[in-house]
Every structure is written in C-alpha cells, then in structure tokens.
Amino acid sequence: MLIKALALAAVFFVIYIMFFKKSNKEVQSNRKKSKKQAPKGDVMMECEKCETFVSEDEAIIKDGKFYCSKKCAGVK
C-alpha cells in the first residue's frame, strides 16, 4: 500500500515538473527580455513652419530645426 502511494506521488511529481514548472533557461530569458524592453518616451517636436507637433523619430531635421514633412522643410 505504501509503495503504491509513493509511486503515485512520484508520477504526479513528474507530471508537475513536465507541464507546470518552467525551466531555468525560460525564466532567465524572460528576465533578460523584460530588462531590455524599457519603455521609451515619445518626444514631440514642433514644426518650425506650420507649428504642428510631430514625434522626434518621424521629424525631418534641416539646419538644426525640426519639420513635420518634406514640404515644410523645403526638401524634395
């Protein structure tokens, strides 16, 4: 009777390990991903010509000034 109970406990333990417990590699990779993906703020810049706000990533820089489009910057 005791051997059957221990065998059943061992089976449940193996099932738990296989399906529910994450491996150390998965946990470490998740930690690295969360550290690398720090939230980045979006800085808005004002167009020198039309005074429209555009994100710094999308802005066109000409002579040290920010423009919202090629048309406002006078670039072809």
Q: How far is CA 40 from the centre of its chain?
A: 10
Tens of pLDDT, residues 15-70: 887 777 666 666 667 666 655 555 566 889 999 999 999 998 889 999 989 999 99
Domain ranges in the chain are: 2-36, 44-73
Question: What Cα–Cα distance (Å) separates residue 17 from each residue in 4, 30, 51, 64?
Answer: 20, 19, 60, 59
pTM of the model: 0.46
Q: How far is CA 33 from the centre of its chain?
A: 7
Q: Is the pLDDT of residue 10 over 90?
A: yes
